[in-house]
């Protein structure tokens, strides 16, 4: 029996969403009346019959209706919205050079994939497609957007950046807005950015929202962005593919350290090609990539710490079979269409069943068979039981040969110091690079302050602004309030301590006060006595001083002995007077007798005037 809330929710959905008209199961692309250039591109790609989501979506999209689509990953959602978009652009050309279509995607890799599909389908037409995602050159993207391409494929963050900082780019001319993998964008906290983008788009647009799962957040977004939408639900992504064989390896508590050796065992002996390994953290992905490389396995890594170019290179190498094993975090678990993946290994179990479905959804796609192997420890067995309950497919336990596993454990232990050395060297390189970047940043600031041109930017050019969501503003305000609150609490504590001391002093008896005062004075005297004094040069004399040659030594006053330096530098009254009056009587007498031998010195005798 359904609850009252569920019945109410279904009634609200029926009132808002309109069901899609029934589609013919055996229809072909030729029957959909596409343009000749599109049919030629479809034939070149080898498409024959549309998938269920394509057959249900394309006719409705060609009518210009808003769509809310939900289908499992790997069912062809990209072509389901890209084909009607291209047909509309070809059928209704625009005289002005403006951007007419915006496609929002959650990740850079998915953006690149959608861009490639759009380029392949528009190969025989003049439609211009532009990609604007993070991690790629900002200036070249600005140049492309100034040319006003017909279709822009972007991630929310980079698009907001261009809207705020590229004056010639806006969304007023958008005719079609596509929100691909909407649930993923909402999970990644892009809700505020998406609402801002939707507000800036034209009100007379066609909106298509696609999601792998239909959550309450996605429904709320659909109600905000869609007008009289048609609901196209082929099947929600809540179950694994029927042609997937699920296996697990149980790891006892004492075997946890042997997990890397188990992975090496599997990829070296059982699954040597077209295998994806999912791990929990970026650091673990990098560490395992180094280990497998030292073991001679052709492996690559895909995670958020890599630059965009490195991530795309890893994906390309895996697709081109230059590497056999791709170690990835959940950044590659959704949306990416990697053909030919035979095996998915869960190095650590995901936290939710939904994430497990997305991970194993990389294999067993488009009717092909696939295999998943999950390493499950004692703490992860609860998740394994949940998968067994929801997947509706049998799970088989895989056992590893103990003797061979022991050999791999020994190999891994032997290579562990080498792995640590590599990680340490990389850490040093990162620190050095960070220091160089800091120096370069300071140099740019100095040049900018001096009015010089820096990296193609004019002196005094305004810095790039950024969109702050309500959550960001609340976080910043909370942080400031917390810092202010800490300062206030600290001051209050100090004030309380002072008041407490005053009260204690008032409550003391006169006798206790006198005692405390005496103790305080004694403490100060002792502290002063123990304090180190100024160092002085002391000349020790062995003989005692005084009449009886005993007792403490008396300090003798030294006679002042004049010398030339002291005379020159002395500034006392006597010395100054002396130098003002000139030489003394005796000095003048000596000088006279020396110059006039035999004559008497008469200083008072006046000279005769001639």
* pLDDT band per the 50, 70, 90 thresholds, residue 541: very low
pLDDT of residue 114: 93
Q: Which of 22-26, 197-201, 556-560 has the highest mean pLDDT?
A: 197-201
- 389-414 pLDDT, tens digit per residue, is 888 788 899 999 999 999 999 999 99
Q: What is the mean pLDDT of residues 109-115?
A: 90
Question: Is the per-residue pLDDT at 345 higher than 80?
Answer: yes
CA distances to 182, 400, 546 from 16, rounded to whole Å, are 18, 54, 118
- 255-290 pLDDT, tens digit per residue, is 889 999 999 999 999 898 999 999 999 999 999 999
What does 9-66 look like in DSSP terms, one character per residue? HHHHHHHH-EEPPP--TT--SGGGT--HHHHHHHHHHT--S--HHHHHHHHHHHTT--
* pLDDT band per the 50, 70, 90 thresholds, residue 305: confident
Q: What share of the chain is helix, strand, coil (3-state, %, to 5)?
A: 50, 10, 40
Q: Which of 115-119, 164-168, 296-300, 536-540 has the lowest mean pLDDT?
A: 536-540
**Among residues 544, 566, 561, which one has the least CA distance to residue 553?**
544
CA distances to 51, 231, 593 from 28, rounded to whole Å, are 10, 22, 140
* pLDDT band per the 50, 70, 90 thresholds, residue 512: confident
pLDDT of residue 136: 84
pLDDT of residue 545: 46
pLDDT of residue 441: 84
Q: What is the mean pLDDT of residues 125-136?
A: 91
pLDDT of residue 48: 79
CA 406/CA 401 separation, integer angstroms: 9
CA distances to 138, 197, 200, 478 from 473, rounded to whole Å, are 26, 18, 21, 8
pLDDT of residue 543: 47
pLDDT of residue 547: 44
Q: Do domains 4-233 and 244-423 have the same CATH topology?
A: yes
**244-423: CATH superfamily:** P-loop containing nucleotide triphosphate hydrolases (3.40.50.300)
Of residues 539 and 362, the one with the higher pLDDT is 362
Of residues 502 and 565, the one with the higher pLDDT is 502
Question: Is the per-residue pLDDT at 609 higher than 60?
Answer: no
Question: Is the per-residue pLDDT at 310 higher than 50?
Answer: yes
Q: Which of 82-96, 351-365, 564-578 has the highest mean pLDDT?
A: 82-96
Please give the structure tokens belonging to residue 223.
């109600």
- 229-245 pLDDT, tens digit per residue, is 998 887 655 677 778 99
* pLDDT band per the 50, 70, 90 thresholds, residue 539: very low
Average pLDDT of the chain, as a whole number: 82
CB distance 204 to 230 below 8 Å:
no
Of residues 284 and 456, the one with the higher pLDDT is 284
CA 300/CA 317 separation, integer angstroms: 8
* Kind plus residue range of the DSSP H or E element containing 210: strand 206-211
Q: What is the mean pLDDT of residues 485-497?
A: 83
Q: What is the mean pLDDT of residues 154-170?
A: 89
DSSP assigned state of 458: P
CATH code of the domain made up of 4-233:
3.40.50.300
Question: Is the per-residue pLDDT at 22 higher than 80?
Answer: no
Bridge-based pairing state of the strands 67-70 and 18-19: unpaired
CB distance 80 to 118 below 8 Å:
no
Question: Is the per-residue pLDDT at 455 higher than 60?
Answer: no
* Cα distance between the two ends of the chain: 150
Question: Is the per-residue pLDDT at 546 higher than 50?
Answer: no
* pLDDT band per the 50, 70, 90 thresholds, residue 419: very high
CB distance 327 to 359 below 8 Å:
no
pLDDT of residue 223: 86
pLDDT of residue 592: 84
Question: What are the residue ranges of helices labelled H in 450-559?
Answer: 470-507, 510-530
Of residues 99 and 516, the one with the higher pLDDT is 99
Bridge-based pairing state of the strands 299-302 and 325-328: parallel
pLDDT of residue 102: 96
pLDDT of residue 224: 84
CB distance 363 to 343 below 8 Å:
yes
Q: Which of 28-32, 113-117, 124-128, 290-294 has the lowest mean pLDDT?
A: 28-32
The pLDDT > 70 percentage for the chain reads 82
Residue showing tokens 């030339």 = 564
Task: Write down the pTM of the prediction.
Answer: 0.64
What is the residue extent of each domain of the chain?
Answer: 4-233, 244-423
* pLDDT band per the 50, 70, 90 thresholds, residue 343: very high
């Amino acid at each position: 029996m359904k609850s009252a809330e569920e019945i109410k929710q279904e009634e609200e959905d029926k009132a808002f969403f309109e069901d899609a008209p029934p589609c013919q199961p055996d229809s072909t692309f030729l029957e959909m009346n596409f343009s000749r250039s599109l049919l030629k591109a479809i034939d070149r790609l080898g498409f024959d019959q549309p998938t269920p989501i394509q057959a249900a979506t394309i006719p409705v999209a060609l009518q210009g209706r808003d769509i809310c689509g939900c289908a499992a990953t790997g069912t062809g959602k990209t072509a389901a919205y890209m084909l009607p978009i291209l047909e509309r652009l070809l059928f209704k050309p625009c005289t002005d050079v403006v951007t007419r279509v915006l496609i929002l995607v959650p990740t850079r890799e998915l953006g690149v994939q959608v861009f490639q599909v759009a380029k392949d389908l528009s190969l025989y037409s003049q439609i211009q497609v532009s990609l604007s995602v993070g991690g790629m050159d900002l200036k070249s993207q600005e140049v492309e957007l100034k040319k006003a391409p017909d279709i822009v494929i972007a991630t929310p963050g980079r698009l907001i950046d261009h809207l705020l900082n590229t004056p010639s780019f806006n969304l007023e001319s958008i005719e079609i807005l596509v929100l691909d993998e909407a649930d993923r964008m909402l999970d990644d906290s892009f809700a505020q950015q998406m609402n801002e983008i939707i507000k800036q788009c034209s009100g007379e647009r066609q909106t298509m929202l696609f999601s792998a799962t239909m959550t309450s957040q996605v429904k709320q977004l659909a109600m905000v962005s869609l007008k009289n939408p048609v609901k196209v639900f082929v099947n929600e992504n809540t179950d694994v593919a029927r042609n997937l064989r699920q296996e697990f390896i149980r790891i006892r508590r004492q075997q946890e350290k042997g997990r890397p050796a188990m992975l090496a065992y599997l990829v070296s002996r059982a699954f040597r090609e077209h295998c994806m390994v999912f791990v929990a953290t970026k650091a673990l992905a990098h560490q395992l990539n180094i280990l497998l490389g030292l073991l001679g396995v052709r492996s690559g890594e895909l995670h958020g710490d890599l630059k965009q170019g490195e991530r795309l290179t890893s994906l390309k190498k895996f697709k081109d079979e230059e590497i056999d094993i791709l170690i990835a975090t959940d950044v590659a678990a959704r949306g990416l269409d990697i053909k030919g993946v035979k095996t998915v290994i869960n190095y650590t179990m995901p936290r939710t069943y939904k994430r497990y479905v997305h991970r194993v959804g990389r294999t067993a796609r488009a009717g092909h068979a696939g295999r998943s192997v999950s390493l499950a420890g004692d703490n992860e067995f609860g998740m394994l039981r949940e998968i067994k309950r929801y997947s509706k497919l049998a799970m088989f336990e895989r056992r590893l040969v103990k003797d061979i596993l022991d050999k791999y454990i020994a190999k891994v232990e032997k290579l562990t110091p080498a792995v640590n050395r590599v990680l340490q060297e990389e850490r040093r390189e990162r620190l050095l690079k960070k220091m160089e970047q800091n120096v370069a940043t300071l140099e740019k600031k100095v040049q900018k302050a001096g009015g010089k041109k820096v990296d193609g930017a004019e002196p005094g050019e305004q810095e790039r602004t950024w969109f702050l969501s309500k959550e960001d503003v609340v976080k910043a305000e909370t942080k400031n309030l917390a810092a202010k609150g800490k300062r206030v609490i600290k001051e209050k504590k100090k004030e309380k301590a002072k008041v407490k001391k005053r009260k204690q002093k008032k409550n003391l008896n006169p006798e206790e006060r006198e005692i405390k005062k005496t103790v305080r004075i004694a403490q100060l005297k002792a502290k002063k006595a123990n304090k180190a004094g100024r160092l002085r040069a002391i000349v020790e004399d062995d003989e005692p001083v005084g009449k009886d040659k005993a007792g403490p030594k008396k300090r003798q006053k030294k006679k002042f002995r004049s010398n030339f330096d002291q005379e020159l530098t002395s500034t006392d009254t006597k010395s100054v007077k002396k130098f003002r009056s000139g030489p003394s009587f005796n000095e003048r007498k000596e000088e006279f007798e020396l110059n006039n031998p035999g004559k008497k010195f008469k200083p008072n005798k006046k000279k005769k005037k001639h």
